[in-house]
Structure 1
Amino acid sequence: MAGVAVMTAVAIAGFAVAVYAAWLFHDMPDGSELADFHPVTSARVFAWDGTLIGEYGQERRIYVPYSRMPTRVTQAFLAAEDRNFFTHNGVDVSGVSRAMAKNVFNLLRGKRFEGGSTITQQVAKNLLLNNERTVGRKLKEVILARRLENSLPKEQILELYLNDIYLGYRSYGVGAAAFNYFGKSLDELSLSELAFLGALPKGPENYRPSTHKAAAIARRNWVIGEMLKAGWVGRAEAEAAMKEDLVIQDKPRRAKYQDADYFVSEVELRAKRLFNDAIYTDGYYVKTTLDPKLQTMAREALMTGLETYDRRHGWRGAWSNIPVTDTWEGEAEAAEDKLPESRRAPSERPNWQIGLIEKSSGAVRAIDGGHGSIRGDDLAWAQATRGLKAGDLVYVSEDTKGVYRLRQVPKVNGSLVAVDPYSGRIVAMVGGYSYSLSKFNRATMAQRQPGSSIKPFVYAVALSKDFTPASLVDDGPISMMGGDGKQWSPENYEHDYLGMQPIRRGLELSRNLMTVRLAQKVGIKPVTQGIVNFGVLDKMPNEMSMVLGAGEVNPYRLTNAYSIFVNGGRKVKPHLIDEVQDRNGKVVYKADERVCPSACTADFDGLESPRLQPQGDVVLDPITAYEVNSMLQGVIQRGTGAAARSLGIPMGGKTGTTNDYRSAWFVGYTAELVVGVFVGFDDNSSLGNHETGAVAALPIWMDFMKNANAGKPIRQFNKPKDAVYMSVRGMEEAFKPGTEPKYNAAPESDDGPKPYLDTWTDDGDNGGPVTVVPAEEPPPPPKKRQAEDATPLY
């Protein structure tokens, strides 16, 4: 009976074990499914020259294939975690035994148990199981480790491990850890640095140098010692590495390049439209159109220009006031924390710091320990309005030793967009004064009235109809019924009239009345439809006030639309993303949709290389585009943009100012680059009297263009070969063949010399609505302009 009972108990126990095993392993995954597994990987964003400018991801991870992994990096992790990795079959019996022996002492000391898990077991646990600490989970881990070893090569298991493991400091995988801790790629790490990364799997937070530096160095040196025991490093090199300090970056950085925050944010929005949430998980490589050098110039030009505008409008006073004591720093930082984000020092100005005014005479202490006085002209600037008093907290930057500049965060804002006119590639874009203070991108999201910067498109439509560069237009009073049923009587900015003027002067001097008459002659519907066709905006009301800038546009599209005047009338698609590759390097998106002819893939035969068609659709006759281009060059030479003439570069452009000086614009170009600048308050309040496009926006444009063109050869604009070029009133003008002015036939009886204008006929064969000034009434000379083209009309 006893034997039967024992047999029964054994059978029941065996059955129970079998049931438990069946329950335990019934839903275990097959290790082979990891053959195509890729952990969640950040998208990486690059400028056109390969500079890393940003990342998007749920987990900050840079996936590095095993073949690209430096040998010493793998050796550091093997030394720390699993030296026998390449010889065991998934479970290291000797390692488990050592762990069990250590756990006896850990139990007595109240320390956490060691698992003795191999790298293969850690991959099985991290990717296929959970973190529960049970016997069942450990058994699953062992079984899965064996399955993984049978399904995948050792190198692939190690690749999965090194790319998936969390190493602290917002770092998933060794690639991200190298970048976040040291700002380097894996192949740039020193022995000391890669050994530190190898020390982290045991407990990243326990070895963070900023909080546990001694423990981090000790653990790093232990890893170096294990590498020495394994024969992977020499003794002299190991000892030298152990003596090195451990210095990491003050915080994980998305990228070393920090001047493109608005650009990177906009790329994220557009990439998400293309790939949805996969942009955050699937490890895309995003190649953008950004030129880092131009972008840095653009950010600096816009910030400096807005600060200059702000300075013109006076010192607004200190942002707080505290008692002057020897321990003022803590109270000052607490006061700054209470400031609205928009009033704090921008991160883009790292040399700004908190200053404490000791005396109204300008004595100041800086929070970095420096002290001195406010520069004389800055002190006078402050005293002209609210002044300074003891205890005032202000922002300062050191100018020279002991002399400080007084700084103020501007309330005004703006944007700058630079585009390649032949491809639509956005090479630089700044959406505001400071991304750290405001994430709103005024280049792409703001809708503002363009004022007179819309006029070139009105002239383009007129020149494509019946007008020519020889046409004269009346700059006289005009009155008509507005769209609201009320009488509308537009005026020029100067409130004067110049009478009959060459069409060129209407654009150069931004004459409102001439522009309205052009639109009236052509018809408002063709004008507004033409502006839509040029890509300025998607739709436009058929109202006459639109031709003076009453509609709303964004700087991104307006700037790009000016490209038609440079590239020969082609409407190019503006874009920030050139190409996107998946994690395997396959191109999954390309902005340039042109198809290269078969000659592109043929062997080079020494003859002419294949030619691609220019990008974009033709929306304006090339000769008409050049006619407007020539007139906009006149804006720089003789018109409202004359200040830019000092740059000495062939260029054209147009100013723009709206009602009550609410928005100021300048959009201009060289033969290689189109750049638009907008300045205005976010609440659309007035910039102040006489803050026109020429005053507020043009200096920013000039600052950027001066730096962008420094050292470059001067390039002239392309002139259409089939145009007819003639001198009209002392200016070379381009004409479509057949539209050029004709000399009158000489009369049979010579009555003597004729006035200059009598030798031309402007109506020609076109029969267009062109007015010629009678010989006895030559056009009066333009009156001296007092300011640029504000349009107080609508």
Structure 2
Amino acid sequence: MARKKSSQTRPSWRRRFALALKILVGLGVLALIGLVIAVYVARAQLPSFDDMKSSPNGQMIRVHAADGTVIVSLGPSYGEWLDYQQIPTVMRDAMVAVEDRRFRSHLGVDPIGLARSAKLAFENRGTGRRLQGASTITQQVARTIFLSNKYDVGRKAREAILALAMERKFSKDQILELYLNKVYFGGGAYGIDAASRRFFGHGANTLSLSEAAVIAGLVKAPSRYSPTADAEAAVGRAGVVIQLMQETGKITAAEAASANPKSVALAPEPKQNSVRYFTDWALPQLETLIDETTRPLEVWTTLDLNMQRAADAAIRANAPRNAQGALVSIDRDGAVRAMVGGTDYVSSNYNRATQAVRQPGSAWKLFVYLAALEAGHKVEDKVVDAPININGWSPRNASGANRGEMTLRTAFAYSVNTVAAKLGQEVGFGTVADMARRFGITTPVDTHPAMVLGTSDVRLLDMTRAFASVANKGVAVTPYGITKVTAQGETIYAQAVDTSQVLVAPYVAQQMTDLLQTAVNTGTGKAAQIGRPVAGKTGTTSSNKDGWFVGFSSGLTTGVWMGRDDAKVVPGLQGGTAPARAFAAFMKPAVANRPVEQFDTQVTLPEWQLEPDEESYFGQPDNGVFVDADGNPIDPGTAPVPDDGSQEGGERMPMPAQPTPEQNPERLDQDWIDKVLDRTPAPAPRPTPVPRPAAAPPPDRTVERNVIRSQDARPTQ
């Protein structure tokens, strides 16, 4: 009975197996038909060979200086496209040997390679390792051009279909040409020509066997085997490539033995210089200027390489020890010609010209006097330097002395703090803050009385912009760094300069220029003189933490800041010393080829020869040691005095009192002024000065009569 049952069940099992086999064969046939259909559909949809050559791997950005010189290349870089016959045989053979030795025989997908990879995957199951070594050169081309690097089964299936389709449409030589010109080799280089130039400094059409082996070895792990990152690993990998070339018969044993990857000369790494401060500021602006994310971009900028080198040298030569420095130079239309954000970009890429916010000290008085001039004051108006108390705040002058009656020109030239405070109180501290915002200050501005002495943090770029707008006769200057952007020869952006925004009336800007020019010629900014008309202002903050000089000449406005990133004291640092010297060191070569430009206003020395304050002779800050970081007054007897060797025993040099008419020295005549300034005398005769009374009136009456002005006394606009 049992035997009979076994004989009856055996045919049933065979029938089921045969049925399953037929189903599998049927499914296989259907899958094959589906695969063939998918391949030929994909083949029909593939672009032409020329279109495949031009398809991008990512967006490349080449940045040009004003003279057209390429200063930075960012993103993927591409060398020249090499046709198949132009590619050295050793390069073709090396790549095939290491990446796909059966490239000439398979149909786009290598079954042997798939089987080997599947075996490895089974052996390494549970380890989380990827399936490696299954992609042919054709599959890599398909992935590079059409797909992402995301690793999943779906992507691998699409990759295989595309590879089979490409083998039906293109020849092996065309596929290898695409591969060698488009595959990524690390260091931002796509294609063998870009890789050869990146690592060896010459084109790929002259690659030697050893160089070709190094490049071919990069594809497996571009970052790991990069010769600039790990030369030993790159040489070891190149040795593996040469061995595989010998095994596949592409080179002889003698050729393999003579190859020496260790002797390959690498191109020097490009130096990261101060130009990167400029490009780091300018290039992010592309996001708002253009809407192009795929085509390679050519970005044309305002940077003048000669000025940039001069700026870098000026900061390096003049920045105090253990301190940083920054410089920005803006042309009359807003074009940024030079930008240095620190003494060394490699050690610190923090851009102190555009990112750092620091107190400007007396450089802020630009806005105080602009507000006063717009309110109706004139540069010859008389004010009184006398003690003042504003809601408990009592500013003091750097000299510790008050000099009585003087003109606004004299007060500005010698950075008299009490006068700035009186002007700020008269026009309103909110008005001064509004003036600063009007001229481009983007950081928060407080309205406490001490703000007139520069206690609000600002950026160097913003301060330089403000001075540039004064130099532009009160018309707003907006800094820009990009003049034009092209994509494959098409101009997709061009800078348009806006000259329609008037910030102050021309006569206000002219009077401000008068004050700024006097500050350089006779006041705290003497070190900024360059042998041609210069207008500018120094700034020094409490305890010598920050030094500023911002000024303009011949259509170029330059701002300099120096200090420490941790805001610690820098002994001997004042706006009239290192920053002013750096300004002069930069401006002399920067404007050397520009015509000398006279300002619209006559230069007039202060009407009586007041001795300069101690910043000019003895290196003291123009206002800082009497105001702390929060703008609170500091007693001069307890204020820290930097021991920089400029004062004997650290004692403060007393300033002479205002001379009486009998003691007043003889006034310098205009002929002497013109001779010193190397300019043609004005044709109009110099007016006879009115004798000054023997003694200044009491401070309260003088302030009432000379500082508090009625609306009727202000000029109409």
TM-score by length of 1: 0.60
Q: Does 1:462 align with 2:483?
A: no
Question: What letter is aligned with 1:667?
Answer: V
Tell me the residue number matched to 1:671. 554
Find 1:578's aligned residue among 464, 480, 483: 483
Find 1:432's aligned residue among 342, 351, 363: 342
Tell me the residue number matched to 1:699. 581
Q: Does 1:72 align with 2:86?
A: yes
Q: Does 1:453 align with 2:363?
A: yes
Q: Which secondary structure state, in structure 2, belongs to the residue aligned with residue 488 of structure 1?
A: coil
CA distance in 1: counterparts of 2:452 and 2:17, whole angstroms = 103
Q: Which secondary structure state, in structure 1, belongs to the residue aligned with residue 561 of structure 2?
A: strand
Q: Does 1:593 align with 2:496?
A: yes
Task: Note closer, same or farther for the CA distance 1:177–1:91 as it changes in structure 2 (3 Å cut).
Answer: closer
Deviations 1:554-607 (A, max 9, x none): 11111111101222222121123333344x3444444x235xxxxxxxxxxxxx
Q: What is the correspondence of 1:331-346 to structure 2 with a 5 Å cutoff?
A: none
Find 1:508's aligned residue among 399, 407, 413: 413
Tell me the residue number matched to 1:264. 279
Q: Does 1:618 align with 2:502?
A: yes
CA distance in 1: counterparts of 2:190 and 2:428, whole angstroms = 63
Tell me the residue number matched to 2:28. 17
Task: Note closer, same or farther for the CA distance 1:115–1:488 as it changes in structure 2 (3 Å cut).
Answer: closer
Pairwise CA distance, 1:553: 0.8
Pairwise CA distance, 1:496: 1.6
Question: What letter is aligned with 1:301?
Answer: A
Question: What letter is aligned with 2:32?
Answer: A
Deviations 1:421-448 (A, max 9, x none): x222222222223333334322222221
Task: Note closer, same or farther for the CA distance 1:148–1:535 as it changes in structure 2 (3 Å cut).
Answer: same
CA distance in 2: counterparts of 1:699 and 1:727, whole angstroms = 22
Find 2:42's aligned residue among 8, 20, 30: 30
Find 1:656's aligned residue among 525, 530, 539: 539
Task: Note closer, same or farther for the CA distance 1:660–1:130 as it changes in structure 2 (3 Å cut).
Answer: closer
CA distance in 1: counterparts of 2:354 and 2:151, whole angstroms = 52
Question: What letter is aligned with 2:405?
Answer: M
Tell me the residue number matched to 1:419. 330
Q: Which secondary structure state, in structure 2, belongs to the residue aligned with residue 480 of structure 1?
A: coil
Q: Residues 654 and 666 of structure 1 are in contact (CA less than 8 Å); yes or no, is this contact kept in structure 2?
A: yes
Pairwise CA distance, 1:466: 1.2
Deviations 1:499-541 (A, max 9, x none): 2222211221111122223333434343322221111336533
Pairwise CA distance, 1:459: 1.8
Tell me the residue number matched to 2:635. none
CA distance in 2: counterparts of 1:158 and 1:506, whole angstroms = 77
Q: Which secondary structure state, in structure 1, belongs to the residue aligned with residue 538 of structure 2?
A: strand
Tell me the residue number matched to 2:317. 304
Q: Which secondary structure state, in structure 2, belongs to the residue aligned with residue 551 of structure 1?
A: coil
Larger Rg: 2
Find 2:66's aligned residue among 22, 27, 48: 48
Pairwise CA distance, 1:626: 2.6
Tell me the residue number matched to 2:645. none
Q: Which secondary structure state, in structure 2, belongs to the residue aligned with residue 48 of structure 1?
A: coil
Pairwise CA distance, 1:456: 2.1
Tell me the residue number matched to 1:383. none
Tell me the residue number matched to 2:401. 496
CA distance in 2: counterparts of 1:523 and 1:260, whole angstroms = 42
Deviations 1:24-69 (A, max 9, x none): 6798793536657432344333333344444544xxx214574x87
Q: Residues 413 and 515 of structure 2 are in contact (CA less than 8 Å); yes or no, is this contact kept in structure 1?
A: yes
CA distance in 1: counterparts of 2:419 and 2:149, whole angstroms = 77
Question: What letter is aligned with 1:503?
Answer: L
Q: Does 1:291 align with 2:296?
A: no
Tell me the residue number matched to 2:452. 547
Question: What letter is aligned with 1:564?
Answer: S
Tell me the residue number matched to 1:235. none
Tell me the residue number matched to 1:165. 183
Task: Note closer, same or farther for the CA distance 1:33–1:64 as it changes in structure 2 (3 Å cut).
Answer: farther
Tell me the residue number matched to 1:768. 713
Pairwise CA distance, 1:615: 3.6
Task: Note closer, same or farther for the CA distance 1:541–1:16 as it changes in structure 2 (3 Å cut).
Answer: same
CA distance in 2: counterparts of 1:467 and 1:71, whole angstroms = 79
CA distance in 2: counterparts of 1:132 and 1:262, whole angstroms = 35
Tell me the residue number matched to 1:564. 469
Task: Note closer, same or farther for the CA distance 1:151–1:631 as it changes in structure 2 (3 Å cut).
Answer: farther
Task: Note closer, same or farther for the CA distance 1:282–1:673 as it changes in structure 2 (3 Å cut).
Answer: same
Q: Does 1:642 align with 2:526?
A: yes
CA distance in 2: counterparts of 1:258 and 1:724, whole angstroms = 41
Question: What letter is aligned with 1:545?
Answer: A
Structure 2 regions of 5+ residues with no counterpart?
1-10, 120-131, 252-257, 608-668, 675-683, 694-705
Question: What letter is aligned with 1:433?
Answer: T
- Tell which deviates more after alignment, 501-510 or 573-582: 573-582
Task: Note closer, same or farther for the CA distance 1:754–1:249 as it changes in structure 2 (3 Å cut).
Answer: closer
Task: Note closer, same or farther for the CA distance 1:488–1:243 as it changes in structure 2 (3 Å cut).
Answer: closer
CA distance in 1: counterparts of 2:567 and 2:339, whole angstroms = 21
Instruction: State the number of aligned residues.
Output: 583
Tell me the residue number matched to 2:590. 708
Q: Which secondary structure state, in structure 2, belongs to the residue aligned with residue 618 of structure 1?
A: coil
Find 2:231's aligned residue among 187, 190, 210: 210
Structure 1 regions of 5+ residues with no counterpart?
84-89, 108-113, 230-239, 311-409, 482-486, 595-613, 734-740, 745-752, 771-794
Task: Note closer, same or farther for the CA distance 1:546–1:492 as it changes in structure 2 (3 Å cut).
Answer: same
Task: Note closer, same or farther for the CA distance 1:25–1:100 as it changes in structure 2 (3 Å cut).
Answer: closer
Tell me the residue number matched to 1:476. 386
Task: Note closer, same or farther for the CA distance 1:183–1:514 as it changes in structure 2 (3 Å cut).
Answer: farther
Task: Note closer, same or farther for the CA distance 1:260–1:92 as it changes in structure 2 (3 Å cut).
Answer: same
Task: Note closer, same or farther for the CA distance 1:6–1:62 as it changes in structure 2 (3 Å cut).
Answer: same
Deviations 1:179-206 (A, max 9, x none): 420345x489677898567745776777
Q: Which secondary structure state, in structure 1, belongs to the residue aligned with residue 713 of structure 2?
A: coil
CA distance in 1: counterparts of 2:377 and 2:174, whole angstroms = 71
Tell me the residue number matched to 2:351. 441
Deviations 1:308-328 (A, max 9, x none): x22xxxxxxxxxxxxxxxxxx
Deviations 1:730-760 (A, max 9, x none): 6699xxxxxxx9999xxxxxxxx994679xx
Task: Note closer, same or farther for the CA distance 1:46–1:701 as it changes in structure 2 (3 Å cut).
Answer: same
TM-score by length of 2: 0.66
CA distance in 2: counterparts of 1:115 and 1:656, whole angstroms = 65
CA distance in 1: counterparts of 2:200 and 2:62, whole angstroms = 18
Pairwise CA distance, 1:635: 1.6
Q: Residues 73 and 194 of structure 1 are in contact (CA less than 8 Å); yes or no, is this contact kept in structure 2?
A: no
CA distance in 1: counterparts of 2:106 and 2:37, whole angstroms = 29
Q: What is the correspondence of 1:724-735 to structure 2 with a 5 Å cutoff?
A: none
Question: What letter is aligned with 1:16?
Answer: L
Q: Residues 528 and 584 of structure 2 are in contact (CA less than 8 Å); yes or no, is this contact kept in structure 1?
A: yes
Deviations 1:643-681 (A, max 9, x none): 233x32321211001223222111122213211111222
Q: Residues 439 and 465 of structure 2 are in contact (CA less than 8 Å); yes or no, is this contact kept in structure 1?
A: no
Deviations 1:8-32 (A, max 9, x none): 7885453131244368679879353
For the aligned residues, what is the CA RMSD?
Answer: 5.3
Tell me the residue number matched to 1:787. none
CA distance in 2: counterparts of 1:133 and 1:429, whole angstroms = 44
Q: Which secondary structure state, in structure 2, belongs to the residue aligned with residue 653 of structure 1?
A: strand
Task: Note closer, same or farther for the CA distance 1:33–1:691 as it changes in structure 2 (3 Å cut).
Answer: same
- Tell which deviates more after alignment, 91-100 or 672-681: 91-100
CA distance in 1: counterparts of 2:575 and 2:422, whole angstroms = 23
